[in-house]
Structure 1
Amino acid sequence: MRILARLCMTADGYVTTPDGWPPQIIDPTHGPGSHGVAEFLRTCEAALMGRTTFEPALAADRWPWPDLRVFVLGSRRPEGTPEHVTVDDDPVRLLERIRAADRGGDVHLIGGPRTIETYRALGVLDRLELVILPYLVGSGMRLTDSFDPATDLEFESSRPLPGGSVEIVYRVPSKH
């Protein structure tokens, strides 16, 4: 089981729009599986995220993770959370629950930056994939505001994506 973070960010470094939405929503090429996410998800069996990322899914027209087990790091279970979703406020205990449910696939660690940094600091983040979008938004949340600047990243690959985006993949060496 590998823990893989993949997120879109604008060319000026924001992982959300000024109003808090994922920046890919401003890209006309955005849709189910766009920005390389369909390929990425082929190896994933679970999704791990913080409560702030999870809660908007409860009001979505369709469940965003139909084929994945969902784990949420949060201090409370949001109203309307399906029973099959695991919620825990302790990142280590939640990781143990993910490992106990492991069937050999990867875990998609979905932003925000604080949740990604929590698991990077625990030494369990294996890969950070960034999709750089050809847009500038001027404000929002930056990935780097939450990440430890001493984080080592080892370049693994890059490739252009339709619509002018670029995927950059880094391996995150474990310090533990």
Structure 2
Amino acid sequence: MKIRARLGMSVDGYVTTPTGWPAHTADPAFVSGESHGIREFLGGCEAALMGRTTFEPALTNDRWPWPNLDVFVLGSHRPAGTPDHVVTDSDPERLLEKIRAANRGGAVHLVGGPRTIQTFHALGALDTLELVVVPLLFGGGTQLTPALDPSLGLTFHSERALSGGSVEIVYTCKGSRSSLPSSPASQR
């Protein structure tokens, strides 16, 4: 099982717009579920892991964002309207054990902001940090750093150009338990 954090980021380092939306959604080239390599990425995932702040807006979506994934939420309470199949826990170590027990060999998409990413990295569970840098300047929002600790120990793995001028950059994390297979981009 690999835990892979993937998030959009503006050129000036913000993972959300000034109004709080994920960075990639502000990119005119973004089409929900169709761009920025998300379909390919999710094809190797069997579960989604996130914090409550990321999860709660999904409860009011017209369409459930993770129809084919097991969903695990780190939070102090189970939000009203949470589907029965969603696993919640307030303790990150306990939640990680539940994910491991349910895992059938696929990857886990760590959806969330810098604090959630840092929480699971501190447990030694984060294998990769994958950034989709969108060609926009926000001038405000939530920054990837300083909430994300430099001790993450990132090692460059690969990059590739995406449509509309975005770039995907993949890093392995110091202390990750698994290594990534070679990709065409990393063999250049």
Please give the range of the TM-score, normalised by the shorter of the 2 chains: over 0.9
Cross-structure match for 1:28: 28
Q: Does 1:48 find its partner at 2:49?
A: yes
Q: What RMSD over aligned residues (CA atoms) do the two structures have, in Å?
A: 1.1
Tell me which amino acid in the other structure corresponds to 1:6: R
Pairs within 5 Å for 1:87-166: 87-166=88-167
SS of 2:157's equivalent in the other structure is strand
Distance 2:135 2:82 in 1: 35
Deviation for aligned residue 1:143:
1.1
Gaps of 5+ in 2: 178-188
Q: Letter of the aligned partner of 2:137 in structure 1?
A: L
Flag structure 1 segments of 5+ consecutive residues without an equivalent.
none
Q: Which amino acid aligns with 1:71?
A: F
CA contact (8 A) 2:127 2:176 kept: no
Whether the aligned pair in 1 keeps the contact of 2:71 and 2:87 (CA below 8 Å) is yes
Q: CA deviation at 1:35?
A: 0.5
> Which residue does the alignment assign to 1:69?
70
Do the aligned residues in 1 keep the contact of 2:29 with 2:35 (CA within 8 Å)? yes
Residue of structure 1 in register with 2:83 after alignment: 82
Q: TM-score, normalised by structure 2?
A: 0.91
Structure 2 residue 20 is matched with structure 1 residue 11: no
Structure 1, 110-119 or 23-32: larger mean CA deviation: 23-32
| TM-score, structure 1 as length reference | 0.97
Q: CA deviation at 1:25?
A: 1.5
Structure 1: 4+ residue segments shifted above 4 A? none
Identity rate, percent: 64
